[in-house]
Structure 1
Amino acid sequence: METRRLWRAGAVAAVLLPLIATAACGGNGAASDDSKEVRVLVNLTDNLTKDFWNDLVKPFEDETGIDVKIEGPTGTNVSETFSSQLAAGTAPDVVQSIFPDDQIAPEVLDLSDESWVEDTPMADTYAIDGKRLVAGVGSQAQSLVYYNKTAFEKAGIKATPQTWDEFNAALGQLADAGYTPLQTAGQWQTGLQLQQMWHPTLNTEQPEWQSAVADEKLTLGDAFEPMFEHYATWLGDGYIKKTDVGLDPTTADANFMEGKVGMYPLGSWLVASLDNAGELPFEVGVFSPPVDEGMAYPGPQGATMASPYMVYAGSEHSDEALQLVEYLVTDQAAIESQLTADGVFRAGAAVEQSPVATEIQAIIDEAPELVAVGEGAGDIRLPVVGLNDKFTEIVQSLYTGTSPEDAAKALDDWAEQNG
């Protein structure tokens, strides 16, 4: 699945740190000296244009003499295009923005022996059968709660909540102060928010919980029923407007930015909208979701790898392709350019950022670990696909009176029927 993100333009670095002149090891068919071309299939957006990509790789081309040919999807998206090209025998040397799965894994190079992969974000999280098949530039934080600092001050909330009891108390204080305590929306956002908020607690209580479900040591219902109970309580107390389940997510974004909302759970992609909105009527803050009493705070941060790259195993230019991927995920100038353009983050990165982005960077740096979300990634996966759509349907049923217990049972029934 291609990663979901909102884009914002950024400056493209013009300085290349010294590259290793020799070809990276692990290739299976080096190109001849007169045929140093690498084809790269990338995701194209309004901001990530061909010009962006060409500017990004130009220092690499100048230093190595390798010609990088940027290609956009010919189908609906990168995933569909790559599948079609594999079938036609025209696959590119490098593919960006999608992740390996059981079907793709045999088609891409194992990067496990490439030492430069070691320090790239979430490389082990996305490993399949212990093999590192993909290297990424950064990560997209999923488990975040944005908040209105003015609202917190007026409501008398002295510090961001670290436990669920503190969070519930803050919701009540925000309601008393005249704010919408918690903003949500319809479509994919209803279910995603609940998952995002629960990941730190769930992954503290049950590390690699997706694998626990696959091993039948945990059920999906047991994993999420406590969060269904939290959510149903908030609905009953009026802390979430039931009509908000009909909103478009962009309208929910706008509601938060108007200053009438106390807290808004969402991923790091919201930063692009906040930065592009200009001056807001309040100062935005962000914190990691709470955890149960007695748990270490902050908990594990739900995250996805951002701007992932894989090398096609059948490439005739795999040595050059490996050199290019190494540059894209380890060169500091290239990393900074991609982080800025993507609105994503990398632990320890020193990139000039907006105040909100700086707070998110601190959350990522302080998180005990970054963990796979939803259906999981690599070997840490559920034994069933299609969770997000079903999960949203079940969460939305809480709005019409379904009990948390029945919601958990519905989740288990679905998993049993589709596993």
Structure 2
Amino acid sequence: MMSTSRWSRARGAAVAATVPLILVAACSSGGSGSSGGKDGEIRMMVNLTDNLDQAYWKKLVKPFEDKTGLKVKIEGPTGKSVAESFPEQLAAGTAPDVIQSIFPDDDTAPELVDLSGESWAKGTPMFENYAMKREHYAVGVGEQTQSLIFYNKDAFKKAKISKTPTTWDELATDMGRLKKAGFTAMQTAGDFQTGLQLQQIYHPALNQAHPKWQTDVNNSMLNVGDAYKPMFRMYADWIKKGYIAKSDAGLDPSQADGNFIAGKAGLYTNGSWFAATLDQAEDVPFEVGVFSPPVDDGKPYPGPQGATMADPYMINKGARSESDAKKLVKYLVTDKAAIEAQLGSDGVFRKDAKLKQTALDTEVQGILNDAPELVAVGEGQGNVRLPVTGFNPKFTEVAQSLYTGKSPDEAAKTIDQWVSENR
């Protein structure tokens, strides 16, 4: 199941903006060894979860330790998250050598090693997508596809739906059939997931209509409201027709997962991490399928796939040994066994990877392989970014207002006003 931290990753380590850059610069200079650590030890801060625990990380790096004689010290965040802890540790002069799970931003980038000149880095997933100007500070293991619609194949049969929809009209027709057959047509949820799902389902169509739309907003060539108004109108219509349950706007995301897994819903928009949730679930009473969201009439299907770099790694300029830190990161993102271990966890996929997979994972892999393009999500990433931070929570607030009677035009005006006031 996706955590709130994954949704916030779209803005990288934006919390770093709360740390004065002059203070960061004074406390961490390239090659100074300010990160501390023993000789031959590499400190790596990672996102610790129930399944990605200390034992997982130690097992992952052990072959590297055995081969190089170096030791890797696995550290969890000192604050609530890696995104919060890294800038705080930079300011205190205690930042680790390698940082996992977050992305650079304008404040942290000057304190990171540019990996543009490393030949091994250039072939890693979404390397160019996360470039900042001409610099590359993050390398990743794979991709997490954001724009997926999971569906109940048994519900489709009961509703007499023979194939997955490729256009919005087809989707609306199918939702009507699912509702008539006694299912919640589209499972939604509250908290962060309301806005996330609305963006996920619209990524392919939006990026066909407005490629790199975040850049167009940044350059004042497009308003967010105009970009999303067609989706707001469709979404409001789905709510009105009962395809989406109004009460779901207050539903915890984990409860929404449970509703779909229990067979109560026909469709569920989510990211590739939900495939891992389904793989781990016991006794799912139906066969699950997945497809890429619809596109506008006359547009090629499938559309661009919203995606984020999965398991990103960055190197602190203040690392005790920049060379040793590079060796570790190279191992993590290029070693075949290390890649397979990471792809096998938390719904992480890699384009054209050939791993033994479940039937559902194979479907997700096919969507990733067939995507004509992987595009930035939410606030954006690298050089394709909105001129604001905090967009995702605000977008969720606007999406939820459609449940309480705000019109699509009012929703579009609200998000435009917020962007204008905060850019």
- TM-score, with length taken from structure 2: 0.90
Report the secondary structure of 1:95's partner residue: strand
- Structure 1 contact 2–98 (Cα < 8 Å) conserved: no
- Structure 1 contact 2–99 (Cα < 8 Å) conserved: no
- Structure 1 contact 258–281 (Cα < 8 Å) conserved: yes
C-alpha distance in structure 1 between counterparts of 2:203 and 2:54, whole Å: 36
1:391 is aligned to 2:390: no
- Structure 2 contact 276–345 (Cα < 8 Å) conserved: no
1:45 is aligned to 2:45: no
Deviation at 1:260, TM superposition (A): 2.0
Between 108-117 and 395-404, the greater mean CA deviation after superposition: 395-404
Residues 99-118 of structure 1 aligned to structure 2 (within 5 Å): 99-118=103-122
- Structure 1 contact 268–343 (Cα < 8 Å) conserved: yes
Deviation at 1:85, TM superposition (A): 1.8
Aligned to 1:355: 359
- Structure 2 contact 7–196 (Cα < 8 Å) conserved: no
- Structure 1 contact 28–319 (Cα < 8 Å) conserved: no
- Structure 1 contact 74–81 (Cα < 8 Å) conserved: yes
C-alpha distance in structure 1 between counterparts of 2:39 and 2:253, whole Å: 48
C-alpha distance in structure 1 between counterparts of 2:319 and 2:80, whole Å: 23
C-alpha distance in structure 2 between counterparts of 1:90 and 1:403, whole Å: 49
Residues 95-244 of structure 1 aligned to structure 2 (within 5 Å): 95-244=99-248
C-alpha distance in structure 1 between counterparts of 2:272 and 2:418, whole Å: 30
Residues 319-334 of structure 1 aligned to structure 2 (within 5 Å): 319-334=323-338
Query: Which consecutive residues of structure 2, in runs of 5 or more, have no partner in the other structure?
Result: 9-29
- Structure 2 contact 60–338 (Cα < 8 Å) conserved: yes
Letter in structure 2 aligned against 1:91 = A
Letter in structure 1 aligned against 2:73 = K
Letter in structure 2 aligned against 1:129 = K
Letter in structure 1 aligned against 2:221 = K
After superposition, the CA RMSD in angstroms is: 1.7
- TM-score, with length taken from structure 1: 0.91
Match for 2:6 among 3, 7, 10?
3
C-alpha distance in structure 2 between counterparts of 1:161 and 1:104, whole Å: 43
Report the secondary structure of 1:181's partner residue: strand
C-alpha distance in structure 1 between counterparts of 2:181 and 2:74, whole Å: 53
Aligned to 1:18: none
Query: Which consecutive residues of structure 1, in runs of 5 or more, have no partner in the other structure?
Result: 6-26
Match for 1:67 among 71, 80, 85?
71
Aligned to 2:11: none
Deviation at 1:29, TM superposition (A): 8.0
Report the secondary structure of 2:344's partner residue: helix
Aligned to 2:312: 308
Deviations 1:102-151 (A, max 9, x none): 01100000001111112211111111112111001111111000001011
Report the secondary structure of 1:116's partner residue: coil
Deviation at 1:79, TM superposition (A): 2.1
Report the secondary structure of 1:399's partner residue: coil
Deviation at 1:37, TM superposition (A): 2.2
Match for 1:246 among 233, 243, 250?
250
Residues 247-326 of structure 1 aligned to structure 2 (within 5 Å): 247-326=251-330
- Structure 2 contact 7–192 (Cα < 8 Å) conserved: no
Deviation at 1:28, TM superposition (A): 5.5
C-alpha distance in structure 1 between counterparts of 2:117 and 2:272, whole Å: 31
Aligned to 1:413: 417
1:381 is aligned to 2:392: no
Letter in structure 2 aligned against 1:404 = P
Letter in structure 1 aligned against 2:50 = D
Between 217-226 and 399-408, the greater mean CA deviation after superposition: 399-408
Report the secondary structure of 1:136's partner residue: coil
Report the secondary structure of 2:62's partner residue: helix
Deviation at 1:4, TM superposition (A): 5.1
Letter in structure 1 aligned against 2:89 = Q
- Structure 1 contact 196–302 (Cα < 8 Å) conserved: yes
* Structure-2 change in CA distance of 1:238 and 1:3 (3 Å): closer
Report the secondary structure of 1:408's partner residue: helix
C-alpha distance in structure 1 between counterparts of 2:191 and 2:55, whole Å: 33
* Structure-2 change in CA distance of 1:399 and 1:3 (3 Å): closer
Deviations 1:318-372 (A, max 9, x none): 1111111011001110001011123211111122222211111111111011111
Deviation at 1:395, TM superposition (A): 1.2
Letter in structure 2 aligned against 1:95 = I
1:89 is aligned to 2:93: yes
Letter in structure 2 aligned against 1:3 = R
Match for 2:370 among 347, 363, 366?
366
1:76 is aligned to 2:84: no
Report the secondary structure of 1:264's partner residue: strand
Deviations 1:381-403 (A, max 9, x none): 10011111111111111112211
Report the secondary structure of 1:117's partner residue: coil
Aligned to 2:21: none
* Structure-2 change in CA distance of 1:385 and 1:29 (3 Å): closer
